Amino acid sequence: MRTELSQTKKNSKHANLAQNIHSIITSESVNIGHPDKTCDVIADAFLDSALSQDPNAQMAVECAIKDNKLFVYGESTTTAKIDYDGIAKQILKDIGYTNDFEIIKQISAQSADINHAVVSDTLCANDQGMVYGYATNETSELMPMPIIIAHKIMQKFDEFRRLTNDFFADAKSQVSIEYSNGKPTRIDTVLISVSHSPRLSHDDIVKIITQNVLNPVLSEYKELLTNTKYIINPSGRFTIWGSFGDSGCVGRKIVVDTYGGVGRVGGGCFSSKNATKVDRSAAYYARYVAKNIVAHNLADKCEIQVAYAIGLSTPVSYNIDTFGTEKVSLDDIYKFVHENFDFSLSNIISELDLNRPIYQKTACFGHFGRPDFPWEKIKTTITK
């Protein structure tokens, strides 16, 4: 199942040499009013509704949005009765839309061929594909610093904009971190673009966002604020927002959803999919394993790739890369994983308890680095 260690060691050696330079890494976060994120949240709300009634629901119902039209489409095999229109309209209202939406639906049952391959005596992967999990000890969340700060800025903005009529839900943040020898040393640039009322001047926006969003978040990172550049609404006016300024659909923000471009990502998105879709569940488990490797001080950084085939219950391969930061041999790390973790689909779903309605909360501000989720826990009963 595993790849040869010689190649992993060779790759880690080159990666370690590359760390001994100054570099800047940038990540972004996207708020719920961006059309792509709106669609992710609605799709995962559909999934949660299904799972709350039918834990074995097979779901992949997505959506796309433009102007006042929401297109709902995909596959659903479940005994649940899902109020697609009601769920979507409630979320759109909560986001801040005041207009009525036309909802157009095209939903069918899951392919019988796929269902037969997945639901057998042993639960099997819903599709082929590879997933990645990543962890680093550069933050307390064991996540890359740029994406963590970018998400915190968006979370703070979303909290703040709900207290005022002057700002709307469509927003993005971007954070650039300078690294030296592989460690974060300085916040180089903080960028935020927020939708707003036409009555606000640019100076008003800069002052309000600095005081109410940026300063509260960045106070946690004061030691890194040296010659930091701040860019707020560089395009000028941002009064036409959401689906009336852009279009969106599910799954277009997988780098935002994962590691901000630092760790690699697999071939599929997360939102809308229930746990038999390994694009989602196995990516969660790979993060869980990588985080535990770093949390148990076996390495400073870890990336895991896992590959699956449709109709098979266990992976066809997995590979571990610690980028030359391992504290024990790679053989010992593989042994640690083999003795403490099980990448079979049935175990992933069971160990992380994934047949529950927990997914709407994942769809904005990142799927990783947030303690609410079961794949973020540190395993205490382990064999070393």
Which three-class secondary structure string do you get for the chain?
Answer: CECCHHHHHHHHHHHHHHHCCEEEEEEEEECCCCHHHHHHHHHHHHHHHHHHHCCCCEEEEEEEEECCEEEEEEEEECCCCCCHHHHHHHHHHHHCCCCCCEEEEEEECCCHHHHHHHCCCCCCCCCCEEEEEEEECCCCCCCCHHHHHHHHHHHHHHHHHCCCCCEEEEEEEEEEEEEECCEEEEEEEEEEEEEECCCCCHHHHHHHHHHHHHHHHHHHHHHHCCCCEEEECCCCCCCCCHHHCCEEECCCCHHHHCCCCCCCCCCCCCCCECCCCHHHHHHHHHHHHHHHHHHCCCECEEEEEEEECCCCCCCCEEEEECCCCECCCHHHHHHHHHHHCCCCHHHHHHHHCCCCCCCHHHHCCCCCCCCCCHHHCCCCCCCC
CA distance 284 to 136: 16
| Tokens at 346, concatenated | 């049935």
| Tokens at 173, concatenated | 């943040």
pLDDT > 50? residue 8: no
pLDDT tier at 97, thresholds 50, 70, 90: very high
In what side-by-side order are the strands of the sheet with 58-66? 102-108, 69-77, 58-66, 247-249
pLDDT of residue 5: 40
- Determine phi and psi for 64, rounding to 5 degrees: -140, 150
CA distance 373 to 291: 13
CA distance 172 to 28: 7
pLDDT of residue 383: 79
pLDDT of residue 377: 97
Mean pLDDT over residues 117-135, rounded?
78
pLDDT of residue 382: 78
| Tokens at 66, concatenated | 């433009």
pLDDT > 70? residue 119: no
CA distance 325 to 322: 6
50-62 per-position pLDDT tens digit: 999 999 999 999 9
Task: Output the average pLDDT for the chain.
Answer: 92
In what side-by-side order are the strands of the sheet with 317-321? 129-136, 301-308, 317-321
316-352 per-position pLDDT tens digit: 999 999 999 999 999 999 999 999 999 999 999 999 9
Residue 101 burial (CB count, 10 A):
17
In percent, the amount of the chain with pLDDT more than 90 equals 85
pLDDT > 50? residue 17: no
18 vs 372, more confident: 372
User: Burial of 88 by CB count in 10 Å (0-12 exposed, 13-18 middle, 19+ buried)?
Assistant: buried
| Tokens at 78, concatenated | 């479940």
pLDDT > 60? residue 9: no
| Tokens at 351, concatenated | 């160990």
pLDDT of residue 7: 41
pLDDT of residue 118: 58
pLDDT of residue 111: 64
Residue 281 burial (CB count, 10 A):
25
CA distance 345 to 123: 7
pLDDT of residue 109: 85
pLDDT tier at 311, thresholds 50, 70, 90: confident
The three-point CA angle 222-195-149 to 5° equals 25
pLDDT tier at 114, thresholds 50, 70, 90: low
pLDDT of residue 4: 39
